[in-house]
Amino acid sequence: MVIDALRSFAQKNNIIAGACHAAPLEKARLLASPFVPFVSSDIEKRTNPDKTLSGVESIIVIGVGAGDVFSKAFLEKGSIAQLSSLGIDDDYHVKVKNLLRELADELKQIYGEFRYKILVDGSGLDERALAHRAGLGFFGRNGLIISSKFGSRFNIGCMLTDIPLEDVVLSDDITTSCPPDCRLCIDACPGGALGSDYLNAKRCVSYLTQKDDLTEEEAALLGQQLYGCDICQDVCPFNAPRKPAFVDPKLWLDMDDETFAREYGHTAMLWRGTKLLRRNAEIVRRNFDTD
């Protein structure tokens, strides 16, 4: 009955979903690329669900499609600084958490009271590995989970629970890996962060736009990326095209915190603070040597 409710919930909300067991995750993939920004360095917390919720039996994983195309592609003079989807879409943390809370309330009507823990972009468990285990998609060469419904343009949410569930895949995946000869994301990555079987997160431009201190080389790698970077997703053949968004970096240099909050408070972008955003705007301006 719980699985039927999960299937119905996924269809009603146009999301993908699955459920999997809560045994510890394999450590090999994380050990191969040990640096992951903004997460715990404790490999046990990253791989053992019981460290997050004691007595966990099962994990429900959902994938929520990124926002519809909502481009602020200002084409007037000076709009050279590019924003990723993080800078224009509604904050996915709020949307995904609300959906999981709604799902928990529905499951209580069927199962009764149960213990659970919701994770959305948390610092502990490897949520991409859980999405893979739950059958939402496969690991692409860009390090993201690629699904048949959304490509890689979706956000992951997990619900650890003490409800015992059998593994169930509710998505209709079309393949299990990237084409053997596809190197589009590897070749397009401006930081050279991607390889056939590894991710060097220290050279990921999306990370660099959120890093506190940048070397001159790292600042140059930003190019025109003001916040985040979607290049590896934009070139992926599994993803629908999305028009890029540009802004004028000079406007950001003069923008006060109140205006930032009004214009971009609905996004996930402000979590690192407006000081860092202004720094990035100055770097982009300098990279393009604009007055």
User: What was the pLDDT predicted at 72?
Assistant: 45
Supply φ then ψ for residue 251, to 5 degrees.
Answer: -65, -35
**Cβ proximity of 36 and 208 under 8 Å:** no
pLDDT beyond 50 at 69: no
pLDDT at 58 over 60: yes
Q: What is the pTM of this model?
A: 0.92
Q: Is the per-residue pLDDT at 283 higher than 90? A: yes
Residue 65 φ then ψ, to 5°: -55, 145
Closest CA to 86 of 76, 72, 106, 97: 72
* pLDDT attached to residue 75: 45
Residue environment code for 137-146, b if the CB has 16+ CB neighbours within 10 A, otherwise e = bbbbbbbbbb
> Phi/psi at 64 (nearest 5 deg)?
-110, 120
The predicted pLDDT at position 87 comes to 84
Say which amino acid occupies 291: D
For the chain, the average pLDDT equals 90
State yes or no: pLDDT of 185 exceeds 80: yes
Q: How many Å apart are CA 226 and CA 66, to the nearest integer?
A: 20
Q: Which residues, including other chains, have CB under 8 Å from residue 35's CB and lie 6 or more apart?
A: 200, 201, 202
pLDDT on residue 244:
81
* Residue 234 is among the residues annotated as catalytic for this protein: no
Top pLDDT among 243 and 289 is at 243
Domain locations along the chain: 2-66+91-169, 184-287
Q: Which two tokens stand for residue 97?
A: 């958490």
- What pLDDT does 290 receive? 56
pLDDT of the residue at 173: 59
pLDDT digits (tens, 9 = 90+) for 83-136: 998 888 889 999 999 999 999 999 999 999 999 999 999 989 999 999 999 999
Catalytic residue among 121, 197, 234, 257: 121
Where does the pLDDT of residue 236 fall: very low under 50, low under 70, confident under 90, or very high at 90 and above? very high
Beta strands in the chain (DSSP E): 16-21, 58-65, 81-83, 116-119, 138-139, 145-146, 154-161, 168-169, 225-227, 245-247
